[in-house]
Amino acid sequence: MSEINAQTQKTSSLTISSGDIHQRWRLIKDTLARYGVVVGGLGVIAAVVMIFFYLLYVVYPLFISANAVAASEYAVPEQALGNTLLLEMEEQNEVAARFTDTGQVVFFEVVSGKTLKTEAVKIPEDTHITSFAQGSPINEGAVIYGLADGRAIVVKHQYKVTFPNNVRVITPSLKYPLGEQPLVLDESGAALEKIAIKVGESATTIVAKTADTSQGEGKVRLLNLQKEQSLFADEAALTRTDSVIELPAAGIANILIDKDEYNLYLVSNDGQLGFYDISNKSKPNLRQQQSVIDAGQKITSVAFLNGDLSLLLGDSSGLVSQWSMVKDKLNRPAMQKIRSFKVSEKAVVALNAEQRRKGFMTIDADGVVGIYHTTAERQLIKEHVSTTMPTAAVLSPRANALLVQSVDGKMHLWHIDNEHPEVSIKSLWQEVWYESYPKPAYIWQSSAANNDFEPKYSLTPLVFGTLKAAFYAMLVAMPLALLGAIYTAYFMTPRMRQSVKPTIEIMGALPTVILGFLAGLWLAPFMEEHLAGLFAMLLFIPVGVMLFAFSWEFLPKSLSEKIPEGWESAILIPVILLSGWLAFKFSVPLETMLFHGSLRDGFKNELGIGYDQRNAMVVGVAMGFAVIPTIFSIAEDAIFSVPKHLTVGSLALGATPWQTMTRVVLLTASPGIFSAVMIGFGRAVGETMIVLMATGNTPVMDMSVFQGLRTLAANIAVEMPESEVDSTHYRVLFLSALVLFTFTFIFNTLAEVIRQRLREKYSSL
């Protein structure tokens, strides 16, 4: 007996010991799981926060204010050689040039003012300079001197860059593109009081106003030199065309020729602007004559904005206005004021446009320099660079340096940090009047083939397109997914549910690129060809189902009772297919009878609604198909998880199945259903590939279901690979990602708050 008791105690101790080990191991696993969940959750939160701050880090430089810093100050180089007519600076900001009224060109170091070279323009000794003008500084570097005997000479300054011993050396020089002999513009020998030039690859246009003589008033003469390269000649021959513009020459203060040499602008001091078509050089044509300033003011400075599509006019009141060529009501080109900047209380004495962007520099009579951007309508910099009145100024080709000469004989060099002037709250979110557009608009157009392009960074059409795509996708997905989930979870037989639910959930595993591919290459052409049939389906299928339901009531009981409860939906499949086939079958004669042609033509002719093949309707169907599994699965689980005692109790109290479903089941499952809708909406907002492939990616703001769109996500996918790192375009794309991130975060946060309140409200059921 003692041996048995000992053996029993030993077994009990082993059992207790084994149980303790199992319990301890279980506690360890629970602890590890708990900490694992906590670490994982914190990791997800940390990842989301890091993404947010990284986006903010990339976007933040867009909103850093521009600044200007004084770099050096020195005496005007070779001041004895004459007064400055023009200051120029080469691209590297190392060498500058000073063109004087005595025909001398002084090249000097930008930083120190040290003279590098002086060279005299080959002006004949029997005459003198009466006028001077600069051609386009972007690619020409040409200037023209008008002389007292009716002749003119064209000079081009250029800079040769070499690297001896790996050290950059810039060597300036002068070149005479039209020859060293002056060109005769006025055979009578009248002095050229005002002059302008535009030098192109194959043609050169010169316009000059002559002085009054004893023979009569001065004239405005136009000279065009066209290069004609012969097949057997080494040098191109110049074909000359002369013409006279018939108008009173008195009062003309500024002459400007656009870069294409098609348009001529004559500006008088009293604010009269003459706009001429000179595409036919032998017969200039006046297009428009108008006043461009307020009464009592005077034009003090004029310049082209980069691209030569707009004129900047500074007046004596300190106002700078931008006039751009747009089409009027008769579709004729006309100059129209699109914006203005109040830059000073003093007269604007100088205007200088940036060579690569739509910015410009102003200098007033007090020596205050301002830098502005037209599209963004921003004042970027305003600095007092000189205590005395400026006489000449130049903005470097890269707009990162400023050189100003003042009346006290000093040169002032300033360094400028102005990386992203194109961005402002207005340019991103409000209507902007862009060059050549008839009115302000929301436009996204981020790049073009040349530097004359005006970037259009409005995010409004992208946000609109994102919401439009999500709206139509949810319009398709929500009724089908939610009603399907209600029927599957509450009315369908379990055996059929076991087949239907996994099948729909497998739909969610389809790659969106495949859906986008099918939508773009098959669905879009199909919907365009059978548009009337698709609309007819909206009528035929409901009518067919209702007729079938009505007929079902008259079936013999012996036949209807053979269909198991919950399998009625399977019988509707052939009814729906037959109704769809009939819709497409009868759509063609209906279309012909009602619209006398195609439905698309009827929409366009009768309602003025256009049709793009890849449109929001295609996106709605394709993206709705992708969103349905998500909404269906979550909503079906929420409805199916409603405690059975609630439904049984409702039925026991006499409620019908429909009353139980609408007043008990849906209310109890409403938090889960709401979550399903929100998750589906988030999926629709962030979708990329379907929208990218199923729409024309046109950033237009049109609610029509037949028009295309562009979403934030698709825009990032399309343009990010081709954007320059750290450029304005690059950072604006990150800004659009930040907008999308912030929108989804706020929307999901609000959705979670609503879901929690629904749970609290209906948890007592």
Average pLDDT over residues 205-222: 80
Q: How confident is the model at residue 628 (pLDDT cuts 50, 70, 90)?
A: very high
Residue 512's identity, in one-letter code, is T
CB 344 within 8 A of CB 364: yes
Q: What is the pLDDT of residue 464?
A: 93
Element containing residue 132 per DSSP (H, E): strand 129-134
Q: How confident is the model at residue 450 (pLDDT cuts 50, 70, 90)?
A: low
Model pLDDT for residues 361-392, shown as the tens digit of each residue = 999 888 888 999 999 888 998 988 887 888 88
Top-tier CATH class for 461-521+612-762: mainly alpha
CA 24 to centroid of chain Cα atoms: 62
Distance CA 375, CA 489 (A): 56
Distance CA 207, CA 224 (A): 9
DSSP 151: E
In the Cβ-directed half-sphere of 446, how many Cα atoms lie within 13 Å? 25
Of residues 296 and 686, more confidence is placed in 686
* Class of residue 42 by CB neighbours under 10 A (exposed 0-12, middle 13-18, buried 19+): exposed
DSSP labels, 520-573:
IIIIHHHHHHTHHHHHHHHHHHHHHHHHHHHHHTTS-HHHHTTSPTT-HHHHHH
Domain positions in the chain are 25-63, 123-287, 461-521+612-762
CB 474 within 8 A of CB 683: no
Residue reference for tokens 């109790």: 649
Distance CA 564, CA 151 (A): 105
Q: What is the pLDDT of residue 557?
A: 74
Q: What is the pLDDT of residue 462?
A: 92
Q: What is the pLDDT of residue 248?
A: 64
CB 252 within 8 A of CB 220: yes
Of residues 690 and 559, more confidence is placed in 690
DSSP 192: E
Question: What SS3 state is found at 267?
Answer: strand
Nearest to 174 by CA among 194, 154, 190: 154
Distance CA 505, CA 628 (A): 9
DSSP 435: T
CA 90 to centroid of chain Cα atoms: 31
Q: What is the pLDDT of residue 668?
A: 86
Average pLDDT over residues 654-662: 85
Nearest to 564 by CA among 494, 493, 487: 493
Start-to-end CA distance of the chain, whole Å, equals: 62
Q: What is the pLDDT of residue 230?
A: 58
Average pLDDT over residues 464-468: 92
Question: What SS3 state is found at 48?
Answer: helix
What are 469's strand-pairing partners? none
Q: Do you know the residue count of the chain?
A: 765
Q: How confident is the model at residue 229 (pLDDT cuts 50, 70, 90)?
A: low
Q: What is the pLDDT of residue 762?
A: 67
Query: Which residues of 425-477 form beta strands (DSSP E)?
Result: 444-445, 456-457
If one counts every other C-beta atom within 10 angstroms of the C-beta of residue 277, the result is 15
Q: What is the pLDDT of residue 8?
A: 54
Of residues 176 and 327, more confidence is placed in 176
Q: What is the pLDDT of residue 286?
A: 84
Q: What is the pLDDT of residue 232?
A: 53
Nearest to 383 by CA among 399, 398, 400, 361: 361
Of residues 13 and 524, more confidence is placed in 524
If one counts every other C-beta atom within 10 angstroms of the C-beta of residue 513, the result is 13
CB 477 within 8 A of CB 627: yes
Distance CA 583, CA 605 (A): 24
pLDDT at 722 over 70: yes
Q: What is the pLDDT of residue 361?
A: 92
Element containing residue 372 per DSSP (H, E): strand 368-373
Radius of gyration of the chain (CA): 38
pLDDT at 598 over 90: no
CB 393 within 8 A of CB 352: yes
Average pLDDT over residues 429-437: 89
Strand order, beta sheet including 84-89 = 84-89, 95-100, 104-109, 115-120
If one counts every other C-beta atom within 10 angstroms of the C-beta of residue 587, the result is 20
Q: What is the pLDDT of residue 736?
A: 92
CB 393 within 8 A of CB 76: no
pLDDT at 275 over 80: yes
Mean pLDDT score of the chain:
85
| Range in 230-234, 313-317, 519-523, 677-681 with the lowest mean pLDDT | 230-234
Model pLDDT for residues 559-591, shown as the tens digit of each residue = 766 777 767 777 888 888 898 888 888 877 877
Q: Give the Å distances, CA to CA, from 529 to 222, 599, 691.
A: 57, 10, 21
| Range in 516-520, 689-693, 734-738, 761-765 with the lowest mean pLDDT | 761-765
Model pLDDT for residues 534-556, shown as the tens digit of each residue = 888 888 888 888 888 888 777 77
Q: For the chain, what percent of residues have pLDDT higher than 90?
A: 20
Model pLDDT for residues 45-68, shown as the tens digit of each residue = 899 899 999 999 999 999 888 888
pLDDT at 765 over 60: no
pLDDT at 738 over 90: yes
Q: What is the pLDDT of residue 281?
A: 80
pLDDT at 437 over 60: yes
Residue 196 backbone dihedrals phi, psi, to 5 degrees? -150, 155
